[in-house]
Amino acid sequence: MVEATPMQQLLNDLPQVGKVEWLGVRPAQKKAMIEPASAELRSDIGIVGDRYAGRSGARQVTLIQSEHLVALASFLGRDAIAPALLRRNIAISGLNLLALKNRQFTLGGARLEFTGLCHPCSAMQQQFGSGGYNAVRGHGGITARVLASGIVRLGDALQAV
């Protein structure tokens, strides 16, 4: 068995557990988000009821850190930023989502895998005005694929496996 390098040991040390603070489903492009108390994540389609459900690929679910919403509000000179304005699916507190890179994780009753960064689009400029796109850069969250179906509820844990 190959011993982990010191860097691998650091990357593998993730005892923190995140918490689902907000859930959002995008019923259609540019339509108001639905904010349910729970959502069904399915390995074959992603989030049931979301406009991206059924599309293949690595972007079945988008997650953002709740702590980044505070930073974005500061960058934009606002008191607060509602997660729905970023059109991500799930806001998580208490865990650095970038630490999930190349990892699988449980989220409520589902199992997912990190697939990439969720970069801002031009809609952020429209949403927040001048500088909106640049404010979100580096704070847009991550994308994930559903490996095992399950229900996710507000207050559920996100934990690396």
Q: Where are the domains of the chain?
A: 20-160
CB-count burial class (<10 Å; 0-12, 13-18, 19+) for 10: exposed
The model's pLDDT over 68-119, given as tens digits with 9 standing for 90+, comes to 999 999 999 999 999 999 999 999 999 999 999 999 999 999 999 999 999 9
* Residue where the block lists tokens 């399950």: 150
DSSP letter at 10 equals: H
Distance between CA 160 and CA 100 in Å, rounded?
7
Pairing, β 46-47 against β 61-65: unpaired
* Radius of gyration of the chain, Cα coordinates, nearest whole angstrom: 16
The model's pLDDT over 121-141, given as tens digits with 9 standing for 90+, comes to 999 999 999 999 999 999 999
Q: Are 95 and 143 in contact (CB under 8 A)?
A: no
The correct CATH number of 20-160 out of 2.40.33.20, 2.60.40.10, 1.10.1330.10, 3.30.43.10 is 2.40.33.20
